[in-house]
Amino acid sequence: AELSVNGSGSVGPVKLSLLAGYTRLNPVQPGYDPTTDTLGLQGVATLKYRSREIGKGDIQADYKRFSAGYSLRYQSKIENIDRRFVQSLLHEYSNPFVNFDNMPSTFVLPGLKENFDAFSKAVLVQDLRVSCWLTNTVRLSFIVNNLANVEYQSRPGDMRPPTQYLGQLLIPLQ
């Protein structure tokens, strides 16, 4: 199911624009059989790397030569990933004397197994921006991405950037 809202209007001399959306999924693998599925996490019928809920929102206010905007992105936790990220590459060779699943150096991403809950958590990322038109064609902006400095991964091993402060000067080339 998906719901989106898009609108614009004015409050006095301030122009406002809004864009928001929400998606709810049921990412269950059809015909899931835990005895034959050797790729995902054991006993998890959810499709890999899927979130059940995703939401996005953006609002912007414009007044004369100034504008300010705020956006957010929400993603619920990821329930299933490739089993190899939480299981040793040498898992099949484990025996009563050597258990490779207890040796972090034999994993694709050492430490992900122990921190899987931190990886799969729900995430809310916020951004902020302000800008000023210096002339009719030149704009100066200040942007803050990941305002709350949220640590998150979009997939195993892909740490997303921490808070970023950006200055931008837009000068069109003629």
pLDDT in tens, 130-148: 999 999 999 999 999 999 9
- With b for 16 or more beta-carbon neighbours within 10 A and e for fewer, the 81-104 pattern comes to bebebbbbeeeeebeeeeebeeee
Asked whether residue 125 carries a pLDDT value surpassing 90, the answer given is: yes
Residue 29, CA distances (Å) to 37, 47, 75 in order: 10, 5, 20
Residue 20, CA distances (Å) to 4, 99, 125, 141 in order: 6, 49, 14, 23
Asked whether residue 162 carries a pLDDT value surpassing 90, the answer given is: yes
Confidence (pTM): 0.81
- Residue 167, C-beta contacts closer than 8 angstroms, at least 6 positions apart: 140, 141, 142, 143
Q: Cα separation of 150 and 118, whole Å?
A: 11
Q: Is 101 helix (H, G, I), strand (E, B) or coil?
A: helix
Q: Classify the phi-psi angles of 90: left when phi > 0, otherwise alpha if psi is within -120 to 50, otherwise beta.
A: alpha
pLDDT value at residue 38? 67
Q: Cα separation of 172 and 174, whole Å?
A: 6
Most confidently modeled range among 38-47, 96-105, 139-148: 139-148
Asked whether residue 168 carries a pLDDT value surpassing 90, the answer given is: yes
pLDDT in tens, 8-21: 999 999 999 999 99
Average pLDDT over residues 106-120: 77
**Which has the minimum average pLDDT: 47-61, 89-103, 154-168?**
89-103
Asked whether residue 104 carries a pLDDT value surpassing 70, the answer given is: yes
- The answer to whether residues 13 and 35 touch, using CB atoms and an 8 Å cutoff, is no
Asked whether residue 118 carries a pLDDT value surpassing 80, the answer given is: no
Percent of the chain scoring above 90 in pLDDT: 52
Average pLDDT over residues 149-153: 88
Considering only residues 156 and 129, tell me which one the structure prediction assigns the higher pLDDT: 129
Asked whether residue 25 carries a pLDDT value surpassing 90, the answer given is: yes
